[in-house]
Amino acid sequence: MKKIYFDNAATTPIRKEVIDAIIESMETDFGNPSSSHSFGRTAKNSLEISRKQIAKQFNISSQEIIFTSGATEANNWILNSAITNLGVKRIITSKIEHHAVLHAVQKLENEHHIQIDYVNVNPDGSIDLAHLVKLLQQNLPTLVSLMHVNNETGVVLDLEKTARICEQHKVFFHSDTVQSVGKTTIDLSKIQLHFLAASAHKFHGPKGIGFAFVRKGLAMNALIVGGEQEKGLRAGTEPIHNIMGMAKALEISKTLHESEMAFVSELKKHCIQKLFEAFPKMKINGNENCFYNILNVMLPLSIDKTSLLLFNLDIKGIAVSRGSACQSGSPKPSHVLAQMLSGDDLLLPSLRISFSHFNTFDEIDYFVSVLQSI
C-alpha cells in the first residue's frame, strides 16, 4: 500500500545526509567531551564546531546556544529562569501556544503566584498586537512569550514587530520558534528577541535534541545540576551524534531553503486548489499569510463521517493530523481552533496537512480522491 506522510508539523523524516553524519559521529566522536585526553578533545571539538555552525545561522555568538533535549525542555527552562533569575513577575502569552509553553506557564502561575495575561487571538488565528500593547501599559517586570509559527494553523507572528513592541516597553521577549527554525531565516542580530527554542526533529534532524538561544548577559539558573556541561546550565554528557546531526540538518536546510520553500509552497497551493474543487464549501482555518508548509482546513462533512475520518485516512496509508473535536475518538477540541472558531464550526472536522520537500503532487491528488470517497 502507498504510504503518504502529511504530518511534517509533528515531526519530519531525517535526511539521508544527516543519518550519515550521525553514524560517522558515532564512529569517530565517541569520546566524552569532558575528558581531557585526545578522544575527549576530539568530541569536544566536534561539539563546539556544531555550536558555531548553528549560531552562525542566526548571526549570534556560539555562547548564546545551549543544547537541550528539545524545545519542550528549552521552553520550560527559559520560562522558569525568567521568574527565578530575571525578576519577572508577569508572563504575557496566548491561549494558542503549544502545551510546552501553556502548561509550563500554568505551573509557574501555581507555584510562584505570578500574574499571567493572555493576549487576544483574532478569528483568523493571528495575535492581536494592539491588545498586547494595551496589556503592556501595566508596568510590571514582564516576559512576553509568543510563538513564531503556530503548529496547528501555520499562522505567523510578525517577530520583528512584536520584538519592537517589547523593546519599547522594556520587557523580555521569548518565542517558541519550533515550526520556523530550519524553514526560514531568523536574524537575531536584527530582531531583539531575548530567547528562542528549537527542536531538530522538526527540520529533518534527529529526535531528542534541540537548543535554547539565550541572549548574552542574561543570567539563567541551572536547568539540570551535575557536571559542568553547557557552562553548568544543563549538566549531563552531551549527545554529540545528535548535536552534529542537528547542525548538519540545519546547514542543509539553509542551503536548500529557497528551492525547497518554492516547491513546498506549490504543493500547498495545489492541495488547496484540489480540495476546493472537491469540497467547494471547505474553509481554511487561518489567513492568507499562513506558513508555507502548514494547511488547516475545515471540511463540510457530516458528523457521522467526522468521528472516523483520521482512522479512514490512516487505513488508506495517509497520515494527517487532527484539527478539531471528535476525531479518532478524542472528545477534546483543539485548544487552538477553540480560540478561533464558533461552536458549530468546531463540530466539523478540521484537518492539519503539513508538507515537506519529500512529498509529491501525486500524493496530494491521491489524498483528495480518498477524502472524497469517505
Q: Which stretch binds ligand PLP (CB under 6 A): 21-29, 77-85, 176-184, 212-220?
A: 176-184
Beta carbon nearer to ligand PLP, 178 or 186: 178
Rounded to a whole number of angstroms, the minimum distance from the CB of residue 40 to ligand PLP is 28
Of these, 29, 117, 176, 238, which contacts ligand PLP (CB under 6 A)? 176
Of these, 31, 210, 239, 323, which contacts ligand PLP (CB under 6 A)? 210
Q: What single DSSP character describes residue 142?
A: E
Q: How far apart are CA 41 and CA 75, in angstroms?
A: 30
Rounded to a whole number of angstroms, the minimum distance from the CB of residue 274 to ligand PLP is 26
Cell of 67: 543544547
How crowded is residue 45: how many other Cβ atoms within 10 Å of its Cβ? 13
DSSP tally for the chain: helices H, then strands E? 12, 13
Q: Which stretch binds ligand PLP (CB under 6 A): 46-54, 175-183, 213-221, 321-329?
A: 175-183
Bridge partners (DSSP) listed for residue 65 = 213
> Are the C-beta atoms of residues 165 and 133 closer than 8 Å to each other?
yes
Of these, 55, 79, 91, 100, which contacts ligand PLP (CB under 6 A)? 100
How far does Cα 202 stand from its chain's mean position? 7
# binding residues, ligand PLP (CB under 6 A): 12
Q: How many CA atoms lie within 13 A of 368 on its CB side?
A: 20
User: Should residue 199 be labelled a site residue for ligand PLP when binding is judged by CB under 6 A?
Assistant: yes
Rounded to a whole number of angstroms, the minimum distance from the CB of residue 234 to ligand PLP is 14
Q: How many CA atoms lie within 13 A of 86 on its CB side?
A: 26
How far does Cα 153 stand from its chain's mean position? 12
Residue 231, classified by CB atoms within 10 Å of its CB into exposed (0-12), middle (13-18) or buried (19+), is: exposed
Of these, 43, 92, 127, 147, which contacts ligand PLP (CB under 6 A)? 147
Interface positions, 61-80, toward ligand PLP (CB under 6 A): 70-72
Q: Which stretch binds ligand PLP (CB under 6 A): 174-182, 211-219, 265-273, 348-356?
A: 174-182
Rounded to a whole number of angstroms, the minimum distance from the CB of residue 344 to ligand PLP is 27
User: Should residue 29 be labelled a site residue for ligand PLP when binding is judged by CB under 6 A?
Assistant: no
Q: Determine the straight-line distance between the first and last CA of the chain, rounded to whole angstroms.
A: 18
* Lateral strand order in the sheet of 142-145: 65-68, 210-214, 195-199, 172-176, 142-145, 90-94, 115-119
Of these, 179, 180, 321, 324, which contacts ligand PLP (CB under 6 A)? 179
Rounded to a whole number of angstroms, the minimum distance from the CB of residue 210 to ligand PLP is 5
Beta carbon nearer to ligand PLP, 108 or 371: 108
Q: How far apart are CA 146 and CA 132, in angstroms?
A: 11
Interface positions, 250-309, toward ligand PLP (CB under 6 A): none
User: Should residue 178 be labelled a site residue for ligand PLP when binding is judged by CB under 6 A?
Assistant: yes
Cell of 374: 469517505
Cell of 262: 518554492
Contacts of 130 (CB under 8 A, 6+ apart): none
Q: Which residue is nearest to ligand PLP (CB)?
A: 70
What are the φ and ψ backbone dihedral angles of 301, each rounded to 5 degrees? -110, 155
The yes-or-no answer on residue 290 being catalytic is no
Q: Which of 166, 271, 290, 326 is catalytic?
A: 326
Beta carbon nearer to ligand PLP, 104 or 371: 104
Known catalytic residues are 326
**Chain residues in the site for ligand PLP (CB under 6 A):** 70-72, 98, 100, 147, 151, 176, 178-179, 199, 210
